[in-house]
Structure 1
């Protein structure tokens, strides 16, 4: 416990012994060694890097060279460092979070404080590196440049002193850059560890829920993405991602009912609102980038003007030192607003992540029956879907949201009273959300018995199975379950993989047991029609399979798991009559003989074989007993049987003939193994392969056309040229002003005439320089504001046009496209990739254009003053060009790998959220997290 000793749990090792300083910081201390000449033993080169290699990123050189020479993939990259892995960092963060919750409670627990504890040592080292960088940056302008200028004014100055000062200036600049790079290296690795720790913890918490009746799918995605989106657009972006997820999940239903236009209008309306908010943020961002260089320049003008008006001496060394110091401040001034905004966004993200972390799954109400022969016991059990506490914590605004169109397909989709998603019910339903779904349910099921459950649609049959799985809220009574569970949901959950993987579901492969399972579930003929038998790849949610095939694969998964209790939710509803008869006789009655079975069915002919039958109506047991007893009572059950006997009991025997029996004998899996068929690695879902090579002109052409055409793009670039040109002119004019004022000035002093070098006076001619300089500032401000407005409009026009273009292409795609493309891959396009187009690309493009034109103007001015500098620039340009070619290609390849590897992560999250009930029923939560 935290309070039982002077040490925190996080300071202890697995044996409870406090770790020493060296044990905790050994890898970091090794990194502090300037050069590590030892053999490279670590799988990832960053763990063998010394201080110089770590700060300069030279340990990445082999990766960059490899990326330049060949295409990079996940397999060709070095393995992830164990210190950066999700397992290591998530465990440590979990310990810190548990300590925080135990210390102050879940409501008062501060995720920000835990984040600080998680990375405080590295943050402190980063602060030290930044302080040293600032000191080195200040020493150059304030001390060394001042001394160098004074040395140039002295006629008797010594050459070796000047050379020494230049070397010292180079050393301070190099040290400044080194500590600046070290700070960024520490920041990036710290951010990676924090990101994987939080992502893993949030996912673990989501998977721990048995049902997601209180968290929307959009909220799950946005918990990850909020740190990237603008704070003002978070809610609208959340809504767009959530709607897009529902659209992709329910695409078959949407196309079937021709609802494309309605969904298109909805998404376009959300996108328009999001674009307006993004424009506001973009205007602020562009305005800040335009004002950043002006602020320091205005500060210079005001400083010099006040100094001159006070008739104080202003020498050239002092003037240039002040200018150099203000130029050092440009970057902090420019980055400060973004840093403040980023901190605000982090707070938003942490608050939403905390909501998921503290939102624990309700305590289990499932108990063990006292009688060992009793498998199921419900005694006067009344259950509902929503907990009172969760309702109280639900904002009223969310309670009044409209019903989501496809909530049944988005979750596990119970046929009748499926658990409503939070905020997914209409007002009339919200008022009754705490009304009981199941009322005073009482029954007992002994070992080896079959309990049949029937009733009309909406009577509570699937809810009863959910109650046995512990997914509902118990208001009163007892629910007791004894033994291991297998669950077949009404809408089968199929994950991306081949048929065999879906049946095994992580269990060890037993050939004889597997073949028997396939046979009794009637899958032989279906698998024989597949190109690679049971090794055929099936798409996400089994979209390329029929409903009956999906249902029988789900049933085969349950049979192969060999559990003690089987909960079957209408498993034969989607199969043909002869197949259903075969599956019921061979699988349920013979293979599962001796197992306890709860069978929910609408096919009443199968209830005759059940040991007991329950008829549900409006969440209550209407009738209960054996089939014979209920028929003799001549109640509602008997009426159902008589009404449907003519329809459901007519099972043509000629369909169930010898040919069908023959089809059930031989397994295609056996034939495939005997024949030695070579199964391709990617049959249906192709691996997402990025385009090789550099970005083609076609890509730039598409973006330019989407942004309004070449004329508008050239006009935007011209505005950048005018703004930077006015800034360069102002700097050149300031230098001319100082040069005029720094010439030798003479004046009477007593009986003598004194001459002084390098003093700027406030004579009448200085006003001309002041007015011209002020006018250049005004022009720079006007051009900057205009540039910001046009650039923001242009880039958001491009991103919105590309969004609509991609959405239109997906909307018009055939169902085969959705069968072979995981939802996570498509969600990646509309979430992270859209963030790149909306925010990151404009931000980096704006900075690139400004810095590019700034460098060009500086080189032009330097060439005009010192033509010899072009020789140095030419030699440096060759080196930088080589580095740029290698670095650009390597970074581009790494970015492609990142984008491709993100899609399976999205797909896994989506699939796991849809199959939470199945995952918990089979006890596969840990394997899901590990995957």
Structure 2
């Protein structure tokens, strides 16, 4: 079916119309050749020859477009439009002069040709074939990508959606898919590619700073002695290097990548198109007063025999306004589209940055600031694109309009311009005040959102201790400061808007008054008055939006600075973990030293994940990694979506995962089963349920390496035993995978393959459980102490865990007795030989 549709699309009969017109032009050329001397003029033969050539070329072009599945062509539309318009005069001549009585053959040939031309022009307003739609898509593709050129010019492709919105409220199912160029999957990689180039351009300025810090670290490591233990954390390195900051490093911090430069390079082509459309639109806007002046002059003089000039001027004014409006609408549409592109791109970039930033950036960037960057600052970048659209040609439009006014009413226009100049000092003061107030406003907004986030995270504690009034007062204090700044900004915006909204009327009044009062011979006639008013109307839009332009530019400067600062912060180094497929070990840390003040257990996992800064050594990992944190986190989605986590749904694997992770019983409790909506942070799930969902998410991912950070701490003992046996243990679902289990539950140790003991940030012992217990080293001593303390409170323990602890005590007791007997035997032997 798809092949048949493609052949039908590429092998249609529409392009034969061009060949038929070429044949008719050839017939007309033959008729001229056998006709009278007047019809055999060189101009007539040349015209028919050009028609034949144009029709043949258009047939070839149409055929190629169909083979390439091009649904519409502006060249074809304008060709048929100009051909139809130009043949209006011959058609009028044939009908009015009744030339069909003299040459019926030429008349029939022309009428057939003209009918085909008009039909072809009408058919260009329709798309001949719609591409077959994929039934798996929930939404239809955007009709803009497949509409005809006339529909594109008039925005007719939106009619269906607007009619739907007129009849009822628009729902999500009514919306179309975004065009490919507008999707974040296309925009974000393009932005990140240019952003990385910009970072590389500025990297030499930062390499000096990193080199100074690295030299200090290398000297420190060169003095360290070799040891059999493996250093994982080294707190002194971070403190030592942080105390040595060179002047070169401080100067390098001032050189950051430029977000504005990246955006300009990303949008320069589309913005040039937008600028050209706006410039041509302004040109037609300026032509309207000129044509109006010529029309008034024509009506005043009424020259005989030149009636056609009046018709031409009227039609020209109409077409000028139509073309101006059409070009302006398309330029505005493109500018708005560019703004939306940048907003979506920056939101995705900030979100991506929040996931990849290193620990120092996490400490400086709060949640409130990141939320403001994505909601407020990204929106201001979108708004400034419209401002740039207006500001791109406003100076030229203003200068040309003033020049035309000078030629119309003379030097009096400069008095009005002087009035505008007087507004500049006031404008400069308002701009400086707005810039500082906007910066303070965003700081208070960040503080307020940060406090809101802290309150929501600790709402249980606030309710427990009845701290709501005090925190409400803190929020109120910040909000009052924010409102005070907003009030000042509103006053300044009102002052500026009042000034520039009154400017066009004051300029018109002052200019006309100066022109009339400057000289008694100056009289405003109809031509000067209407042309001047028309030119003042040209000046009115730039002056009306000038205050908003200044305000948005100020806002965008602050937002660009904030976004630039955040995006230029350091990320986690991708080289922290090497993806070496030739390595024998699936996961290895060789002579690794990392910097990050934290607890040891999660620090080991973070080092293997690349979340810690590596000072020296190598971390190698083969394949994909799944991580189960100690504190499970949930998405505000269904339970199924939380487990799938963007992966395709495979029923057999999904059901097996639910069974092994002890979630089937929970699904019977939930109202909608696995389709139950999980609230924010899993509020409608217990701690054990959230932990089991977290384990199921990792199991369903089918990764190569699993990093498990005490995943069974929040579940009941019998559930934990079942999950360990069915999933983590040697006979579980992950038995063929590499599993790193960080746990404080010593009762799991007899069932693991290898035990790694960490002490003071270093690996002190490693081996199987039996080897470490038989060795009777620090690990065995720790187990003795721990199990002795547990034995004293064994009545409060879970029976299953108590049973495991009992077996472990028996094993340790046998090892201790064997060691004691060996010591006694050795002592007796020494006494015997002595």
Change (3 A) 1:648 1:119: farther
Aligned residue number for residue 773 of structure 2: 628
Taking the aligned partners of 1:642 and 1:564, their CA distance within structure 2 comes to 38
Change (3 A) 1:470 1:122: closer
Matched, 1:606 2:606: no
Matched, 1:550 2:690: yes
What do the CA deviations read for 1:237-268 (whole angstroms, capped 9, x no partner)? 33334444444455455545544334433333
Once the two structures are superposed, the pairs formed by residues 572-651 of structure 1 within 5 Å of their partners are 572-589=712-729, 590-591=731-732, 592-593=734-735, 595-610=737-752, 612-614=754-756, 616=758, 619-620=761-762, 626=769, 628-629=773-774, 635-647=781-793, 651=797
Change (3 A) 1:188 1:611: closer
Change (3 A) 1:481 1:124: closer
Aligned residue number for residue 269 of structure 1: 477
Once the two structures are superposed, the pairs formed by residues 205-354 of structure 1 within 5 Å of their partners are 205-208=353-356, 213=362, 215-224=365-374, 225-228=376-379, 232=438, 233-252=441-460, 254-256=462-464, 258-311=466-519, 312-317=521-526, 318-354=528-564
Taking the aligned partners of 1:253 and 1:216, their CA distance within structure 2 comes to 21
Taking the aligned partners of 2:269 and 2:621, their CA distance within structure 1 comes to 49
Aligned-residue offset at 1:546: 0.5
Q: Which of 643, 648, 652 is the equivalent residue of 1:503?
A: 643
Aligned residue number for residue 284 of structure 2: 136
What do the CA deviations read for 1:265-300 (whole angstroms, capped 9, x no partner)? 333333222222222332232223322332122223
CA RMSD in angstroms comes to 4.4
Aligned-residue offset at 1:68: 1.5
What do the CA deviations read for 1:699-748 (whole angstroms, capped 9, x no partner)? xxxxxxxxxxxxxxxxxxxxxxxxxxxxxxxxxxxxxxxxxxxxxxxxxx
Taking the aligned partners of 1:155 and 1:379, their CA distance within structure 2 comes to 98
Taking the aligned partners of 1:219 and 1:573, their CA distance within structure 2 comes to 33
What do the CA deviations read for 1:471-523 (whole angstroms, capped 9, x no partner)? 11122344444554332100112223333443344555555554444344333
Aligned residue number for residue 122 of structure 1: 270
Q: Relative to total residues, which structure has the larger helix share, 1 or 2? A: 2
- Counterpart of 2:169 in 1: which secondary structure? coil
Change (3 A) 1:586 1:51: closer
Matched, 1:464 2:604: yes
Give structure 2 stretches of 5+ with no counterpart: 1-66, 79-123, 132-140, 205-254, 381-433, 804-834
Question: Quick check: 1:296–1:329 contact (8 Å CA) kept in 2?
Answer: yes
Question: Quick check: 1:503–1:557 contact (8 Å CA) kept in 2?
Answer: yes
What do the CA deviations read for 1:748-800 (whole angstroms, capped 9, x no partner)? xxxxxxxxxxxxxxxxxxxxxxxxxxxxxxxxxxxxxxxxxxxxxxxxxxxxx
Question: Quick check: 2:794–2:802 contact (8 Å CA) kept in 1?
Answer: no
Taking the aligned partners of 2:648 and 2:775, their CA distance within structure 1 comes to 43
Change (3 A) 1:499 1:40: same
What do the CA deviations read for 1:127-159 (whole angstroms, capped 9, x no partner)? 333333333333334552575289469999999
Matched, 1:39 2:128: yes
Taking the aligned partners of 2:320 and 2:148, their CA distance within structure 1 comes to 21
Taking the aligned partners of 2:321 and 2:357, their CA distance within structure 1 comes to 54
Aligned-residue offset at 1:543: 1.7
TM-score normalised over the length of structure 1 = 0.53
TM-score normalised over the length of structure 2 = 0.59
What do the CA deviations read for 1:342-400 (whole angstroms, capped 9, x no partner)? 23433444444444554443133234799966454445533223xxxxxxxxxxxxxxx
Taking the aligned partners of 2:340 and 2:443, their CA distance within structure 1 comes to 26
Q: How many matched pairs?
A: 567
Give structure 1 stretches of 5+ with no counterpart: 1-22, 386-435, 438-457, 658-931
Once the two structures are superposed, the pairs formed by residues 674-685 of structure 1 within 5 Å of their partners are none
The higher-RCO structure (CA 8 Å, 6+ apart) is 1
What do the CA deviations read for 1:8-27 (whole angstroms, capped 9, x no partner)? xxxxxxxxxxxxxxx99x99
Q: Which of 563, 572, 575 is the equivalent residue of 1:361?
A: 572
Change (3 A) 1:375 1:129: closer
Aligned residue number for residue 5 of structure 2: none
Aligned-residue offset at 1:100: 4.8
What do the CA deviations read for 1:432-486 (whole angstroms, capped 9, x no partner)? xxxx55xxxxxxxxxxxxxxxxxxxx4x211222112111112234444455433
Return the index of the structure with the highest Cα Rg: 2
Change (3 A) 1:649 1:63: same
- Counterpart of 1:574 in 2: which secondary structure? coil
Question: Quick check: 2:71–2:146 contact (8 Å CA) kept in 1?
Answer: no
Taking the aligned partners of 1:622 and 1:656, their CA distance within structure 2 comes to 27
